[in-house]
């Protein structure tokens, strides 16, 4: 009987948490509003990158630029710059390895089979941080685009990644730049509230569930 109510209770708890976050974002500056601003900035950076690469430059590989710009709008400008370097390196590695595999096999499926195992191993290199997975996803994007391999195509792919990185970092740094730890007491109070919510949720589950 009680187990049937647990999913509904979890949905209710999440809905209340979303409502509290929305009210906090509306009422004044804080982490919740910063998340809203960061999300809108990321969307804006992707749109700008698409407008520049896809509309203005009319590049057939314009997908790379908005994709990179989108993921590079981070919580701090420092993290954007640091991750821009890591991600750009990972994307270049993925584009180069995928292009080489395409030249060797002359087949997209064969190129994927040849490049993905190598790139997944490379993605675990500590220098990439959390951006290593972009080596493999870049290879998928590159080969799925269907563009024939050539020095010009590889240059376009790397150039689009660089364009997206520049736009993403510039938007994050120049448009409402994030302020890290804007209000220390408020951040500590928010952490305490979140810890209290987690403890209440655990207590509710213990009361409403059968446990040994």
The pLDDT tens digits of the residues spanning 78-132 come to: 777 787 788 888 888 888 898 889 889 888 889 999 999 999 999 998 888 888 8
For range 11-20, the mean pLDDT: 77
For 87-160, strand residue ranges (E) read none
For 128-158, the pLDDT digits (tens) are 888 888 899 888 888 887 666 677 777 777 8
pLDDT at 149: 67
Judged against a pLDDT cut of 70, whether residue 183 lies above it is answered with no
Distances, alpha carbon 38 to alpha carbons 6, 73, 93, in Å? 33, 7, 28
Instruction: Say whether 1 sits in a helix, a strand or coil.
Output: coil
With contact defined as beta carbons under 8 Å apart, do 139 and 98 qualify?
yes
Residues 6+ apart with CB under 8 A from 80: 72, 73, 74, 168, 169, 172, 173
Q: What is the rounded distance in angstroms from the CA atom of residue 9 to the CA atom of residue 11? A: 5
Q: Which residue has the higher pLDDT, 143 or 3?
A: 143
Q: How many residues does the chain have?
A: 212
Q: Are 149 and 104 in contact (CB under 8 A)?
A: no
Question: Longest C-alpha distance within the chain, in Å?
Answer: 65
Contact 53, 66 (CB under 8 A): yes
Instruction: Give the rounded percent of residues in the chain with a pLDDT score beyond 90.
Output: 12
pLDDT score at 143: 84
Coil vs helix vs strand at 115? helix
> Quick check: 131 and 86 in contact, CB under 8 A?
yes
**Rounded to 5 degrees, what angle do the CA atoms 128, 172, 22 make?**
105
Q: Is the distance from CB of 65 to CB of 160 less than 8 angstroms?
A: yes
pLDDT of residue 4 exceeding 70: no
Q: Which two tokens stand for residue 140?
A: 């998928």
Task: Round to whole Å and give the CA distance between 125 and 128.
Answer: 6
For the four alpha carbons of 143, 148, 150 and 152, in that order, the dihedral sign comes to negative
Give yes or no for residue 185 having a pLDDT over 80: no
């Amino acid at each position: 009987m009680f187990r049937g109510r647990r999913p509904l209770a979890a949905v209710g708890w999440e809905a209340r948490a979303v409502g509290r976050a929305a009210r906090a974002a509306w009422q004044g500056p804080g982490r919740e509003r910063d998340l809203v601003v960061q999300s809108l900035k990321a969307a804006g950076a992707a749109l700008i990158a698409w407008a520049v690469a896809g509309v203005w430059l009319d590049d057939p590989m314009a997908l790379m630029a908005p994709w990179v710009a989108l993921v590079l709008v981070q919580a701090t400008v420092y993290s954007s710059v640091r991750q821009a370097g890591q991600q750009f390196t990972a994307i270049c590695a993925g584009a180069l390895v995928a292009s080489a595999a395409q030249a060797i096999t002359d087949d997209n499926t064969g190129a994927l089979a040849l490049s993905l195992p190598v790139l997944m191993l490379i993605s675990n290199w500590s220098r990439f941080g959390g951006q290593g997975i972009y080596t493999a996803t870049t290879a998928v994007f590159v080969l799925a685009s269907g563009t024939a391999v050539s020095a010009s195509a590889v240059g376009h792919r790397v150039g689009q990644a660089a364009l997206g990185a520049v736009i993403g970092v510039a938007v994050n740094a120049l448009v409402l730049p994030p302020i890290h730890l804007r209000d220390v007491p408020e951040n500590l109070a928010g952490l305490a509230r979140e810890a209290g919510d987690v403890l209440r949720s655990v207590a509710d589950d213990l009361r409403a569930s059968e446990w040994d």
